[in-house]
Amino acid sequence: MNFLITGITGFAGPHLAELLIKNNHNVYGLIMCSNGRENDIRDVLSDEIYNSIKWVYSDLRNLRSLSNIFRENEFDGVFHLAAQSHPPSSFVDPVGTMETNVMGSANLIQCIADQQPNCNLMFCSTSEVYGNTGKDGRKIKSEDIILPSNPYASSKAATDLYMQERITNKKIKGFITRAFSHTGPRRGKNFSISSDAYQIARMMKNLQDKNLLIGNLETVRVVIDVRDTVNAYYLAMINNNCNGKIFNVCGETPRKMQFFTDKLIEISKLKDVNQKIHEPFYRPIDIYYQHGDSTELKDLTGWEPKISIEKTLEDLLEYWVNKIN
């Protein structure tokens, strides 16, 4: 089958591309321009996998060039991962976040509806759309109210609702995923957990003193491996019963963020690391507890997270040590 991945040069995209190629599918990667940036994903992909990717070029905000891609290529499915996905950055540039995430997605949906109505679209929403809905400690269900608490989440919620309307009115085929916290190799260093891993890797290379800058470690999340997350995307894509569904993608063990910081320090074998609160790492409005219910996803596809959090953190730290090298 032929699959297009938007956001292939981001965090989850390369892992999804590898999974698809290993399952004998053809992968097309959409990027804005041919400036060599696509080579950056070689930090997690072998030459064999990388060289199997076919590249197409367009800004999602450019409807004309995006339309050309769908006229010139035939896709069985599109994994729409591309987004401005950093909540703190969305407070700095809320309008830019809306333009990229809402209008870019609307253009993509329109291209598929107009030119390839049988193509299956996965819209990658986010657990951030729920805001503090789950602050009472219960598992959040996909039908629960959405209460976004930052501009990034608002942009995702807007597209989430638009996608639901398009599916309901039979203008497009597809489904929505709302992934809860996930991390692993290639996670940006401006995101929690990976920020810790990046700083600890620098300490291991004697490039930073032992003051670890941290944000709010009292919030509670269920964190899984990015490779488990993209496997959920894939299993839903190839299952015809998933059309029109909204899936939470989440693990089963809620933990305070402090756990992940302490575990990374333990894995590094560093001693006397001083954890120092860094105010810029705090969000203006934070989400204090999130745990999602993935029952429907598991029942329909058989998906289960398989990678332990210890393995995830080991691989994340190793990624940053190698990247710094």
The CATH number of residue 168's host domain is 3.40.50.720
Q: What is the DSSP letter of 203?
A: H
Query: Is residue 270, in this structure, part of any structural domain at all?
Result: no
Q: Which domain holds residue 11?
A: 2-185+224-250+292-301
| Contact criterion met (CB below 8 Å) for 35 and 108 | no
Q: Are strands 220-221 and 255-256 parallel, antiparallel or unpaired?
A: antiparallel
Residue 277 lies in a domain: no
Would 147 be classed as within a structural domain?
A: yes
**Is 297 within the bounds of a domain?**
yes
In a domain, 310, yes or no: no
Residue 219 CB neighbours (<10 A) = 17
84 falls within a domain: yes
The CB-based long-range contact list for 83-87 (8 Å cut-off, 24+ gap) reads 83/7, 83/124, 83/152, 83/155, 83/156, 84/152, 84/155, 85/10, 85/11, 85/126, 85/152, 86/152, 86/188, 86/190, 86/191, 87/128, 87/150, 87/151, 87/152, 87/153, 87/283
* Within a domain: 64: yes
> What's the domain count of the chain?
1
On whether the CB atoms of residues 41 and 14 are closer than 8 A, the answer is yes
Phi/psi at 229 (nearest 5 deg)? -60, -50
Q: Per residue of the chain (325 residues), what is the pLDDT tens digit?
A: 999 999 999 999 999 999 999 999 999 999 987 777 789 899 999 999 999 999 999 999 999 999 999 999 999 999 999 998 888 889 899 999 999 999 999 999 999 999 999 999 999 999 999 998 888 989 999 999 999 999 999 999 999 999 999 999 999 999 999 999 999 999 999 999 999 999 999 999 999 999 999 999 999 999 999 999 999 999 999 999 999 999 999 999 999 999 999 999 999 999 999 999 998 887 666 788 999 999 999 999 999 999 999 999 999 999 999 999 8
